Amino acid sequence: MARKIISNVITSLLFLTLLFMVFVVISSKASGGEPSFLGYQLKTVLSGSMEPTFQTGSVISVKPQEDYTKLKEGDIVTFMIDEQNVVTHRIINVVEKGEGVMYETKGDNNKDPDGNLLLPDNIVAKYTGFTIPYLGYLIDFAKSQKGTAALLITPGLLLLLYSGVTIFKAIKEIEITTKSSGRSDETEKTA
């Protein structure tokens, strides 16, 4: 009974791992970057500028907002520094200019604030407070051709291998049961 429960748990874990890997790979490929889920984007932390808040290689969850003019000091935002690069830093000062607003940002591990004030139009998302350490290395690996193949094929092969072992054990148990019931029939005939 316990062996069957353990077997079911292992099978379920392998299947869930396979589904997760498929999600990571497909989502990464479809978005051209980090995966997203239910409106939340997963961003990989590539530098130590926000340590100890985020460790290099972590994945953070950010969520796009409708209005970036109402952010406050201490909020952590992801913003465009040029057409291809984003940064996630903390707002250290809100600068009001007439009817507009700009933000002074700084990485927690940086000595100085960022060089330019941040316009709300350059902000792409706000940090949600959810971080998974070191998962970013896996996501970066998933973006490569070798990573895509490995992350899709390996869990599938493990699931197939485990299924094969389970089937082999079931066949052995059936053979043992058949042999022992055949012997009891022979014993009854000689008695």
Other beta carbons within 10 angstroms of residue 21's beta carbon come to 21
Helix pair 145-190, 135-143: axis angle to 10 deg? 100
Q: Which of 31, 47, 144, 184 is catalytic?
A: 47
Q: Nearest Cα to 38, choosing from 62, 58, 20, 22?
A: 62
- Distance between CA atoms of residues 115 and 104, nearest Å: 9
Give 76-116 pLDDT, tens digit per residue. Answer: 999 998 888 889 999 999 999 888 899 999 999 999 999 89
Active site annotation includes 47? yes
In the chain, the percentage of residues whose pLDDT exceeds 70 is: 83
SS3 of 113, please?
coil
Among 132, 134, 137, CA closest to 60: 132
Whether the model pTM is above 0.85:
no
92 CB neighbour count, 10 Å cutoff: 14
Low-confidence ranges of the chain (pLDDT < 70): 18, 21-37, 139, 143, 151, 182-191
The pLDDT, as a whole number, for residue 189 is 56
Q: What gap in Å lies between CA 34 and CA 43, rounded to an integer?
A: 6
Q: Where are the alpha helices (DSSP H) in the chain?
A: 2-31, 135-143, 145-190
136, 45 in Cβ contact below 8 A?
yes
Task: Report the amino acid identity of residue 60.
Answer: I
- Distance between alpha carbon 35 and the CA centroid of its chain, in Å? 8
Q: What is the per-residue pLDDT for 16?
A: 77
Residue 59, exposed/middle/buried by CB under 10 A (0-12, 13-18, 19+)?
A: buried
The reported pLDDT for the residue numbered 32 is: 57
Whether the Cβ atoms of residue 57 and residue 44 lie closer than 8 Å to each other: yes
Nearest-CA neighbor of 86 among 131, 53, 113, 126? 126
